[in-house]
Amino acid sequence: DAGVTQSPTHLIKTRGQQVTLRCSPKSGHDTVSWYQQALGQGPQFIFQYYEEEERQRGNFPDRFSGHQFPNYSSELNVNALLLGDSALYLCASSSNRVSSYEQYFGPGTRLTVT
């Protein structure tokens, strides 16, 4: 049973560019949440997707957007990258039938903005 997978593993971008990160949830899960984890900090909630719609959003600007596909996989898009966007981006999946708090994380995508 595959767990949560994310791609790519690492990414280097230049300020002002756009980036797309991808996530496939754990088998049987239908809800995907995205988090940003800066070095030495805990994960910060970006948003959550369920039934292909954004259900909840944290304090992140509109430059951060997402999408969920019918197979429950998800994308995180960040436009007009800033140096401060450099972080580990984590995807977590859960089952809406059980509890959205039992979240299982992927290995993350490390984004470096230069």
Would you tell me which residues interact with another protein (CB under 8 A)? 4, 33, 35, 40-45, 48, 55-56, 58, 90, 96, 99-108, 110
Determine the Cα–Cα distance for residues 13 and 20; give it in Å rounded to an integer.
11
**Which residues, at least 6 apart from 95, have a Cβ–Cβ distance to it below 8 Å?**
28, 29, 30, 31, 102
DSSP 29-88: --EEEEEEE-TTS--EEEEEEETTEEEEE-S--TTEEEEE-TTS-EEEEE-S--GGG-EE
18/96 with CB nearer another protein: 96
Q: How far is the CB of 16 from another protein (least distance, A)?
A: 27
14/42 with CB nearer another protein: 42
Q: How far is the CB of 31 from another protein (least distance, A)?
A: 9
4/19 with CB nearer another protein: 4
20/105 with CB nearer another protein: 105
Q: How far is the CB of 40 from another protein (least distance, A)?
A: 7
